[in-house]
Amino acid sequence: MQPACSREMQAMDSLLNPTHHLPLQDLQIHGHPPPQFDNPTPSHDDFLEQMLSTASFPLSSSSWSDIDDNAFPQGGDGGSNPFQAMKMMMMMQQQLLVAGGPTVASAAATGGTHQGGGEGSITSMQALFNGFGDGSFSHPQPSFGAGSKTDINQSQGPAATTAAPEKPKQKVRARRGQATDPHSIAERLRRVRIAERMKALQELVPNANKTDKASMLDEIIDYVKFLQLQVKVLSMSRLGGAAAVAPLVADMPSEGGGDCVQTSANGGGVSLPRNSNGDQPSSANDSLTVTEHQVAKLMEEDMGSAMQYLQGKGLCLMPISLATAISTANSHSRSPMINHVNPNNGNHLLLQSSGGGGDGPSSPSMSVLTVQSATLGNGGVDGAASVSKP
Amino acid sequence: MCPHTSLKQQFLKKWIMGLQRCSFSKKNMSILERKKTIKLSADIAMASARNGTTRWSRALISNASKDGSDNRLVQQILGPDSNTPAATTTNKAGTRRASVCKKIVKRSHQIRRRRRKCVAAAPVKAVTSSISEHLVRKRRQVLKTLIPGGEFMDEICLIEETLDYITSLRVQVDVMRSVASACFSQS
């Protein structure tokens, strides 16, 4: 019954809103047109017209003006208007039955010009009307659902007159569980919009199965940082030519100021490795560059010695495609500090084995810093050295 | 990323155009400058691909054009669209004013809500909710520093801009990576 109720409420709403002037005119100008007892061949708006016109009989002018004041000017609150309309309807029905007026099925009294509204509401209107005609007001109550139970209960009080003065108070209460305070409505709307957008973000950001808002924001922040870092490093890789290691590595902390994107903190963070192992002193920057210089030099002569040197340091050499794969795999976990560079020719990079090297992809914080060796200009072995720290 | 192919093509075109224009001016630049130009041109290309529809792109361009040394670069890259910096500054001022007003209203709402909460809710609940709010607020602050022009946005706007920014960053990374691999795979 509830869908039917909503439909009929909508129909009534649409009816009342544009046509509310007409019944008033009927009452004021034409006085009280006699009811017509035609056959029940309804168009529901005619039925409504009939009801409104015949309801003028038993109604006192004060109550009618009350209804008028309360029912009609509420164009703004669309949620409560149908309920107001329904209340009005029921009140009039009540008075009709109390006055012993005839049950009017329909009539072609006035107008009949507005044939609007869906056909589906006709049957529901009929059903409602039958419910009224039975004289038991408890019928429509469950059909209106939880929406305005309290309102209807109160409006169906012992006397119609007592219902009328309560109308101004009921105007505030629209739905159960929802306040009509405009501020809270705006709040609710805002929260809904934010939730929608967060859901859209969840699909975009990988590893976003978090339900908590704070952790979601964390993931988003990390991902944005990671992407910005990637762009920065990729733009560095294009340089080609003889790229000295030190300026590149040292550049990152200093160029934070001149950047379009404000990632100064990150730019510094990448080149300064995290000192997880004790050998590396605080000036790990220099040691890195020294290592890379050495490796480049060694690689010129003999790859084998270069490899040995690296292994002595606890580093290893790997193709950059593999590093790319690892970095993309790590981007799905929480590892913000990954950047890698495609070298000019050679596809090698250094990787520090973290405790046996088995947990490369699973290591949550692996930073890969790739730079180009100083010997690129020779066109010889162009190795790209990169150091990663767990 | 099939739905982004058009965006990728646009970005690529603009970027290459920008790079060409930049390289014509100076023949030999140092490493830093080259890196900066590449990155700058990529950023500007990305931002201009949005045609000023999103706030972060406008903020990016205006930030870049504010700096004197980069201004020439930006002008070269943007080419005939020289009226965009003026538009962006006015936009930023307008949005700033609007967001300041919004902030004031929001703060009043928060205060009112907090007062209501203190009266109605249990003390434990109020404490936990305020803690979570605090956390979320902190993270939102960080996000605002990340997105260009993000300090002037309210929450809804911020999330929308983040969405757009992430997609454009992804496009940038993909295109750059593919170009790099194309260039360097030959040798």
Q: Do B184 and A243 touch (CB under 8 A)?
A: no
Cα A243 from Cα A226, distance rounded (Å): 24
What is the residue whose two structure tokens read 């593919």? Answer: B178
Residue to substitute from B33, B41, B129, B163, interface A, most A β-carbons within 10 A: B163
Output the CA angle A329-A251-B141, nearest 5 degrees. Answer: 65
pLDDT tier for residue B186 given thresholds of 50, 70 and 90: low
With CA atoms as reference, report the closest residue to B44 among A251, A114, A259.
Answer: A259
Using alpha carbons, list the distances in angstroms from residue A33 to A49, A102, A114. 11, 14, 19
Statement: residue A353 has pLDDT above 80: no
Q: Check CB contact under 8 Å for A205 and B166.
A: yes
Report the half-sphere exposure of B2 (CA within 13 A, side-chain side): 0
**Cβ partners under 8 Å of residue A232, min gap 6:** A252, A263, A267, A339, B39
**Contact between chains at A224 and B40 (C-beta distance less than 8 A):** no
Residue A217 to residue B143, Cβ atoms within 8 A: yes
Tokens of A59: 């109604």
> What chain A residue is nearest to B34 in terms of C-alpha separation?
A239
Does pLDDT of B62 surpass 70? yes
Chain B CB contacts of A241 below 8 Å:
31
Residues from chain B contacting residue A238 (CB–CB below 8 Å): 34, 38, 176, 179-180, 183
Sorted by sequence, the CB contacts under 8 Å of residue A387 that are 6+ apart come out as: A273, A288, A291, A292, A315, A350, A352, A368, A369
Please, is B164 exposed, middle or buried when counting C-beta atoms within 10 Å of its C-beta (0-12, 13-18, 19+)? middle
Which of A214, A228, A241 is facing B136, going by the closest CB pair? A214
The nearest alpha carbon in chain B to A203 belongs to B163
Looking at residue B145, its pLDDT comes to 85
Most confident of A202-216, A235-249, A358-372: A202-216
pTM equals 0.43
DSSP type of residue A117: S
Cα(A69)–Cα(A72) distance, integer angstroms:
6
More confident residue, A311 or A231: A231
Element (H, E) at B93: helix B84-120
Say whether A260 and B173 touch across the interface (CB within 8 A).
no
Find the CB nearest B172 among A213, A231, A241. Answer: A231
Confidence of residue B106 (pLDDT cuts 50, 70, 90): confident
Which chain A residue has its CA at the smallest distance from B42's CA? A235
What's the token pair of residue A109? 């009294």
**Predicted confidence band of residue A188 (pLDDT cuts 50, 70, 90):** very high
Q: What angle do CA A8, A10, A15 make, to 5 degrees?
A: 95
- CA A382 to CA A293: how far, in whole Å? 12
**Interchain proximity A244–B156, CB inside 8 Å:** no
pLDDT digits (tens, 9 = 90+) for A302-332: 666 656 766 776 766 566 667 667 766 665 5
Q: pLDDT digit string (tens) for B122-177?
A: 567 778 888 888 988 888 888 888 888 777 778 888 888 888 888 888 888 888 88
